[in-house]
Structure 1
Amino acid sequence: MSRERLDALREELKRQGVQGFLVPRGDEYQNEYVPPSEERLAWLTGFTGSAGLAAMAGDHAALFVDGRYTIQAQQQIGDQPLEQQNLNPAAIAGWLCDNLKAGESLGFDPRLHTEPGLAALKKRLAERDICLQPLDSNPIDNIWSDRPAQPSGHARPHPETFTGEASAQKRLRIADLLDEKRADALWLANPEVCAWLFNIRGSDIPHLPVALSCAMLYRDGTATLYLDEAAASDALREHLGGDVSLVHDKAQLFAAARRQHVARIWVDPQLTNCWTLQQLRAMDLELILDRDPITGAKARKNAEELAGSRAAHERDGAALCEFLAELPEAVDGGIADDSFGELEAVALLRAKREAREGFTDDSFDSISGYGPNGAIVHYRVTPESSLPMKPEGIYLIDSGGQYPDGTTDVTRTVALGDFPEQARDHFTRVLKGHIAIATLRFPAGTCGEQIDAFARKALWDAGLDYAHGTGHGVGSFLSVHEGPQRIGKMHTSVALEPGMILSNEPGFYLTGQYGIRIENLIFVKESEQYPGFMEFEELTLAPIERKLIDKLLLTPMELEWLNDYHQRVRETLTPLVNERTRTWLQQATEKI
């Protein structure tokens, strides 16, 4: 970020007649990961986290981030004239009201925000006679001279061997729900729901294998799909068939709705941007505002998707084990000249994954944190920040892969040598929380917020906690962060249903010293022994660091779980790894 960019933005805001502006980290599809052309927040502020918002108000500017990114934001904005604030609606509204005057206007790009996301802010600003003003063009785009081009990669069919269900069957299944809603059409607001419904994938967004798209599904199971013209091939058209019409201009989507005599349309206001709602209302359509049914349907993985995820996790676990087995020697080899650090570790792990069948990309930027950098919850290593690693202290590696049959996400905390004794207590308490979730049995209808405390109790007993959720949903060769399911303090009212994949990742972070997190992916299944109850089954396969465990803090049940898990890891992965890793794996999974 440069002061010149802030000054240029202020001049552009004056030209557009507003005194403030909101800069979210997102795109028109509300994606978590965005193409380089949509990285407006990073361009303006230097902050590269996956969640955040900047606000301009007169001569003042602020960056709002949550607890995961507090330290990272401090490092990345440095001494720039940006106030750092907590990312919550009350703090954002309060700051804006403090820095804007009655009668002034706060501009926003209606393509980058949703109405529910702005509702509380709009109300608060109105009470202070401050107008929330949609802008026809984004001020940053007008001053970003070297902005990258919008991506337009090929969309490709995703085989039914991985999806477990044909697109035509999915469309008819969702169309039945339209009948129940008495809706003529469903608006598909983002590429993930389109990817699932039409069984297509792409490469327009880093780490998210989708093509930029949106669509309308009609009551008879036919649909109109928007894709960039360059994304549509003959193979894709053949895959979609005659019941799916392709258009290459979003305006043609609205025109198609008129041709289909759509009068009532189902729209998810959490996924659909303000601009799109404006276009639909201008057509005098009746909007049925409710959660998109596809979001829940794709969260409940079928048997083929779960089988694919198991297979992907086996290959991914083998790659991770080969990395962990070679890590100590790589660290030792780099001692003399500091040639092996966090960045080199990421490259080594990436190479191990690339050697595995089907690997297409990392599922997110790996979090490779040695020592104090491990305490930055969502740390993103750069050439400037990369610490050289030594045969001492604690290293945290959170990473994942995208494979056609599954998406992985795993965190392991490693003792590279001597470490502070208190870390053993911290690690074991995190492990106890991890096991508490892994072994939990709960009645059908239970939501993630109702079980979150089980992961935190051992930490709470010692007056400790962590500032992130315990678990997020994960897609099937889709987003590594998938809704609507999650485990955390936040209220969701979303029941955990069979087939849902989630992460189980309690942690603890001691600022300036180390970070600890243990993350496996798990999925929900019905209990065979107790009808009406749900349980979890492990997907991730990788040893948990035995050197950091205080055996005296574990109960007999917890020890049994750990030993059983390690036995399964050893038996499953030994045939898949090289001889060197087999020896390491035998030691890493020895019974405690």
Structure 2
Amino acid sequence: MSRERLEALREELKRQGVNGFLVPRGDEYQNEYVPPSEERLAWLTGFTGSAGLAAMANDHAALFVDGRYTIQAQQEIGDQPLEQQDLNPSAIAGWLCDNLKAGDTLGFDPRLHTEPGLAPLKKRLAEREIGLQPLESNPIDAIWSDRPAPPSGHALPHPETFTGETSDAKRRRIADRLEDKRADALWLANPEVCAWLFNIRGSDIPHLPVALSCAILYRDGSATLYMAEAAASSALREHLGSGVELAHDKTGLFDAARRQHVARIWLDPLLTNCWTLQQLRAMDLELIMDRDPITGAKALKNPVELAGSRAAHERDGAALCEFLAALPDAVDNGVADSSFGELEAVALLRAKREQREGFTDDSFDSISGYGPNGAIVHYRVSPESSLPMKAEGIYLIDSGGQYPDGTTDVTRTVALGEFSEQARDHFTRVLKGHIALATLRFPTGTCGEQVDAFARKALWDAGLDYAHGTGHGVGSFLSVHEGPQRIGKVSTGVALEPGMILSNEPGFYLTGQYGIRIENLIFVKESDQYPGFLEFEELTLAPIERKLIDKLLLTPMELEWLNNYHQRVRDTLMPLVDEKTQAWLQQATEKL
């Protein structure tokens, strides 16, 4: 089908008078997760990963993905006439320059791109005299005959018992920052920052509990909030109060800015799409381009949010343990007729989470990879790809839940039966990296990129590595991938601060054989013993596979950490799980 779609897109591009087109994986809000109506990349190419871009250039087409998705993309695009390339600005620009000629024009949807995102490409194309043209309408929408309708779910108040701060207090706190910038208003381009500022949640996007929205915050703490009329219930209006005006058309935001006599508006160029900038510039506003202050503020969880996260992780850990305890029998029972596989494992874990108080959704599509599928870093199981599981080899399950008091994300690697000594070595090196980061003490002002190597050293010692970051920020009943903090090789310039929640997830992947990852969520806290230094504390509670550990590779300190962690897991979760799981938990947390 995608061959026909690629050809139909070429015809539409000819009709719109351009020679090429960019198809990003995202929506007008720059969300990582998008509603079905915005899944243009998947519709066109079949690639379902959370990061990617397709490019059309005359008679050629390419799909650009990063190292997490190399194998997945190969499987999903099959024999389509799509070149697979590395997802980086240089590679994209180089490919386009090779397949377009001077005088050609590359079209793009200005609602789906930001100016900083396009800047490197624009420069390279200009050097080759290739035009970059914003299009009035997205050509894919013209040929996507059965495109799903846009979401229209209700937005709901998120109570102070979970947020720890009222929306009015948050708006006044952020409005104080406008004074420092001499800005009249702040443009809120993203539903996540709106969800945090107004203490609202929704169900418009799978796995991300937000309502599609954007807003303007003024210097006095009042605001104009855009969302679909169907989303705004009477309860929401009462929650927002008289300080927040609702607009049900995006042009209402621009009209409100005129009424409020806004002359200088602060916006984040990394979150604000090109189309919005076009509209604001047409109003002759002075644009103050800088990082959104809300993104950093919501990363610093207050005591109520941290307490909620701890509670959510206890319930989630209990669900995960019940799944892990039930897994061996499920595999054994399904061996004869191959009736239990990766897909059934996802359903079993989901059923365990659904039994826990407050569970609303998975925080992302579970990565359930047995054997060679575990080596696909962001593998997405489907009925076609699901492998039957046997009582042998290694299984990787990366999953999480959304609860009103917290968002979880945890990966465990499980030995279902016999495995190689090489796998034991790889697993133990990943564990050593995990412990190195978990036990790290570092001075205030340290950035994530400065601690990344601690998680990789044991692998590097053996000439091994992994092609993904070590840690990402996590929201509070918001996105499981939240900035600005992260831990990885790429420089961010963002210091780790008390209250930030991150993942700790080193891994190793042997193509065609198995994948290994150990992931806990951690939060940054001040050191009690050393003023001016910071440490991490574990949030995730679940046993780490003891069978895969080579005890001789662990130092006494590493062994002590593991045994102490398992003791805490046992003490905390034992009262929360069923009798069968209690027996399993006792064994899974025995001292090494």
Q: TM-score band (shorter)?
A: over 0.9
Q: 1:428-447 CA deviation, whole Å, 9 max, x = no partner?
A: 00000000000000000000
For residue 214 of structure 2, give the secondary structure of its aligned residue in structure 1.
Answer: strand
Corresponding residue for 2:536? 536
Residue correspondence of structure 1 range 296-307 to structure 2 within 5 A: 296-307=296-307
Give the equivalent residue in structure 2 for 1:309.
309
**Secondary structure of residue in 1 paired with 2:85:** strand
Q: How does 1:153-164 map to 2 (within 5 A)?
A: 153-164=153-164
Task: Kindly state the Cα deviation for residue 420 of structure 1 after the two structures are TM-superposed.
Answer: 1.4
Deviations 1:508-562 (A, max 9, x none): 0000000000000000001111000110000000000000000000000000000
CA deviations over 1:451-481 (Å, ceiling 9, x no partner) = 0000000000000000000000000000000
Deviations 1:151-172 (A, max 9, x none): 0100000000000000000000
RMSD over equivalenced CA pairs, Å: 0.3
1:353-411: per-residue Cα shift (whole Å, max 9, x none)?
00000000000000000000000000000000000000000000000000000000000
Q: State the one-letter code of the partner of 1:393.
A: G
Aligned residue number for residue 360 of structure 2: 360
* Match of residue 149 from structure 1: 149
Alpha-carbon separation, structure 2, partners of 1:281 and 1:539: 45
Aligned match of 1:417 = 417
Question: Could you say which residue in structure 2 is the equivalent of 1:408?
Answer: 408
Aligned-pair CA distance for 1:566: 0.1
Q: Which residue of 1 aligns with 2:398?
A: 398
Matched, 1:583 2:583: yes
1:317-332 paired onto structure 2 within 5 Å: 317-332=317-332
Alignment of 1:91-106 (within 5 A): 91-106=91-106
Other structure's SS at 2:373 match: helix
How do residues 453-492 of structure 1 correspond to structure 2 at under 5 angstroms? Answer: 453-492=453-492
Deviation at 1:2, TM superposition (A): 1.8
1:430 aligns with 2:435: no
**Could you list the runs of 5+ residues in structure 2 that have no partner in the other structure?**
none
Alpha-carbon shift at residue 223 of structure 1 (Å): 0.1
Task: Provide the C-alpha distance between the structure 2 equivalents of 1:2 and 1:259, rounded to a whole number of angstroms.
Answer: 48
CA distance, structure 2, for counterparts of residue 571 and residue 140 of structure 1: 54
- In the alignment, the residues of structure 2 paired with residue 54 and residue 294 of structure 1 have an alpha-carbon distance, to the nearest angstrom, of 31
Corresponding residue number in structure 2 for 1:350: 350
Match of 1:90 in 2: 90
Q: Deviations over 1:56-85 (max 9, x none)?
A: 000000000000000000000000000000
Note the C-alpha offset of 1:55.
0.2
Cα distance in 1 for residues equivalent to 2:146 and 2:420: 47
Report the 3-state secondary structure (helix = DSSP H, G, I; strand = E; otherwise coil) of the residue aligned with 1:397.
strand
Secondary structure at the counterpart of residue 390 of structure 1: coil
Equivalences for residues 49-60 of structure 1 within 5 A:
49-60=49-60
- Residue correspondence of structure 1 range 558-577 to structure 2 within 5 A: 558-577=558-577
1:421 CA displacement:
1.3
Residue 84 of structure 2 aligns to a residue in which SS? strand
Counterpart residue number, 1:41:
41
Give, as a single letter, the amino acid of the residue that structure 2 aligns with 1:543: P
Q: Distance in 2 between matches of 1:228 and 1:344?
A: 37
In 1, Cα distance between equivalents of 2:120 and 2:67: 21
SS of 2:512's equivalent in the other structure is coil
> Which residue does 1:259 correspond to in 2?
259
- Normalising by structure 1, we get a TM-score of 1.00
Aligned to 1:3: 3
In structure 2, the residue matched to 1:384 is: 384
| Equivalent residue, structure 2, for 1:73 | 73
What whole-Å deviation, never above 9, does each CA across 1:483-504 have from its counterpart, x for those lacking one? 0000000110000000000000
Tell me the distance in 1 between the aligned counterparts of 2:472 and 2:243: 34
Q: Could you tell me which amino acid in structure 2 is paired with residue 350 of structure 1?
A: R
| Code of the aligned partner of 2:124 | R
CA distance in 2, matches of 1:213, 1:32: 15
Q: Secondary structure at 2:420's aligned position in 1?
A: coil
**Moved >4 Å (runs of 4+):** none
Secondary structure, aligned partner of 1:175 = helix
Aligned to 1:504: 504
What amino acid is aligned across from residue 355 of structure 2 in structure 1?
A: A
Matched, 1:223 2:227: no
Report percent identity of matched pairs: 89
Give yes or no for the alignment of 1:128 onto 2:128.
Answer: yes
TM-score (norm 2): 1.00
SS in 1 for 2:279: helix
CA distance in structure 2 between the partners assigned to 1:475 and 1:364 by the alignment: 13
How many residues get paired?
Answer: 592
What CA distance in whole angstroms lies between the structure 2 residues aligned with 1:581 and 1:248? 50
